[in-house]
Amino acid sequence: MNWNWKFRAVWMLCLGVNDMRREMKDSGVEWIGEIPEDWKITKLKYLGTYINGYAFKPDDWGDTGIRIIRIQDLTGSNDKPNYYSGNLDNKYLIKKGDILVSWAATLDAFIWKKNFGWLNQHIFKALPNEEMVSPEYFFWLLKVVMENMNNDNKHGIFMQHVTLDVFNNFETPLPSKSEQNKIHQFLQNKVDIINLLVEKTRLCMNDYKKMKETLVIQTVTKGIYSKRKMKNTNIEWLEEIPFDWKECRIKNVIFPVIKEVNDTDEIVTCFRDGTVTLRKNRREDGFTISFTEKGYHGVDKGDLVIHGMDAFAGAIGCSDSRGKITPVVHVCKTTGNNRYFMYFLRSMAYGNILMDLSNGVRIRSSDYRNFAKLGIFRICVPPLEEQNLIVEFLDRKVNEIEKIVEKKQIFCQELEAYKKSLIYEYVTGKKEVPEA
């Protein structure tokens, strides 16, 4: 990234941010606090009409027809769109520019920017009452509202959601139409700058991640010595390896083991970035709750761990903790340095080898729950001394790259937090749009 551009962008964000110079009053609503003297308080049900999406069943999904808009499609976490070829009431049809509100799992507001689609359940199509609120300001208001629907307003154990009654009666600030337009124009300008900076930073992060992947692939297949004699291989995806390296099947050097679970063991999770740690060290949300923990087995610090379903995405690592782990994960010992084999298997994930050679049961997946399916693949194995040197080299270089990526990730998080704060302050009147 061009950091001069970064600082210039941050400086531009600060322009126009001013101190309040107008009379304020207590709104009477806890999450809003004070509002300008001439602003009103109203409820969401007066500002718009909210149409919930259609309750599609998995059997309705197909590869042709009109796209189905799910929460995953709004958050960008859906790899492959689903389509519906049947007929529905036009009230469920979404067009470019429509305002959508996710009221379950993810609480947020979005503007649909793609072609026509059918709206799935757990999402409202929000139609503004334009006598009271402009569509543009309505969007910013809804983003603030959903951000502030705190835990007291959420329901559900497995998937938290907001009921329609709570949503309709949620109190919001309401400035005049002229001030709504000023707020929209101001926020749009500032948010565009933030979003551009976030996008540039994330592209830079992706470049570093690709650099890391290339480094790992090159090192575990060529070694750390230059100008060495090479030989051809029988590995279909690898043309040649150092002359003194061996070639064998995974099952001859990596062996699954079953370890007993201790009463004091806590849950260990193998994440897609290769981190294998106690779940509490990373995050607790987003996991299916298991009441029986049937089939869980023990894992020790340093053990090689291979996720039977998510290995294709890089869920391969060495555990940093003692604990218990789900039976979908293989806990393994090796004939050499566990971390070398970790890096080698990860290189296969980075190069899409694990996915291409698998019989995955869903889009972008691999199914290696049966270790024998993984064990038949051929890999290259350097002498133990060089394995150790490769691990030492990669641990150092990968750590350097990941620290850079982490800093950029923190910067993105800070920008996103600033964006939320900015929207809140102007939508609730805490700050006044400066005169042009």
Does residue 287 sit in the same domain as residue 193?
A: no
pLDDT score for 87? 92
In this structure, the answer to whether residues 205 and 264 fall within a common structural domain is no
Strands 230-232 and 117-119: unpaired
The verdict on residue 409 lying in a domain is yes
Q: What's the pTM value of the predicted model, to 2 decimals?
A: 0.81
Question: Pick from 174, 191, 207: which residue ends a domain?
Answer: 174
CATH of the domain at 424: 1.10.287
Q: What is the pLDDT of residue 364?
A: 53
Q: Is residue 140 part of a domain?
A: yes
Q: Are residues 237 and 376 in the same domain?
A: yes
Count of domains observed in the chain: 3
Greater pLDDT, 344 or 161: 344
Whether residue 249 is found in the same domain as residue 368: yes
- Could you list the residue range(s) of the whole structural domain that residue 198 is in? 1-23+177-223+384-436
Q: Is residue 61 situated within a structural domain?
A: yes
284 pLDDT higher than 60: no
The pLDDT-based confidence of 182 (bands split at 50, 70, 90) is: very high
Whether 386 shows a pLDDT value over 90: the answer reads yes
* Through-space distance between the first and last CA atoms of the chain, rounded to whole angstroms: 32
Tell the residue number behind the tokens 């949503």, with chain if given: 167
Judge if 64 and 182 occupy the same domain: no
Give the pLDDT score at 362.
47
Structure tokens at 171: 């109190």
Query: Mean per-residue pLDDT for 269-296?
Result: 73
Neighbouring CB atoms inside 10 A of 152's CB total 6
* Longest CA–CA separation in the chain, Å: 81
- Rounded to the nearest 5°, which phi and psi values hold at 300? -110, 160
pLDDT score for 49: 96
Same domain, 333 and 407: no
241 phi/psi in degrees, rounded to 5: -140, 165
107 is written with which tokens? 């609480």
Q: How many CB atoms lie within 10 A of CB 171?
A: 16
* Same domain membership, residue 167 and residue 284: no
- Mean pLDDT along residues 330-356: 94
158 in the same domain as 119: yes
Q: Check which CATH number belongs to the domain holding 126 and give it.
A: 3.90.220.20
Q: 410 and 315 share a domain?
A: no
- At residue 13 the predicted structure's pLDDT band, cuts being 50, 70 and 90, is low
Percentage above 70 pLDDT, the chain: 88
Flag whether pLDDT at 162 surpasses 50: yes
Are 170 and 87 contained in the same domain?
Answer: yes
Determine the average pLDDT of the residues in 354-378: 77
Split at pLDDT 50, 70, 90, the class of 117 is very high
- 86-112 tens-digit pLDDT: 999 999 999 999 999 999 878 999 999
| pLDDT band of 17, cuts 50, 70, 90 | low
Instruction: Please indicate, yes or no, if residue 29 is contained in any of the structural domains.
Output: no
Instruction: Determine which helix (DSSP H) or strand (DSSP E) holds 268, and give its type and residue range.
Output: strand 268-270
Q: Are residues 433 and 355 in the same domain?
A: no
Token pair of 98, please?
Answer: 């429509």
Mean pLDDT score across all residues of the chain: 89
244 and 287 inside one domain: yes
Instruction: Tell me the pLDDT tens digit for each residue of 213-265.
Output: 999 999 999 999 988 999 999 998 899 999 999 999 999 999 999 999 999 99
Domain boundary among 381, 404, 422: 381
Q: Which of 26-35, 155-164, 208-217, 266-275 has the lowest mean pLDDT?
A: 155-164
- Residue 326 reports pLDDT greater than 90: yes
- Please, which pLDDT band fits residue 9 given cuts at 50, 70 and 90? low
Q: Is residue 11's pLDDT more than 60? A: no
pLDDT of res. 365:
60
Inside any domain, residue 150:
yes
Question: Per-residue pLDDT tens for 301-321?
Answer: 999 999 999 999 899 999 999
Q: Is residue 130 part of a domain?
A: yes
As a whole number, mean pLDDT of residues 162-178 equals 94
Select from 174, 189, 210 the last residue of a domain: 174
116 occurs within a structural domain:
yes
Q: Is residue 34 part of a domain?
A: no
pLDDT at 58: 86
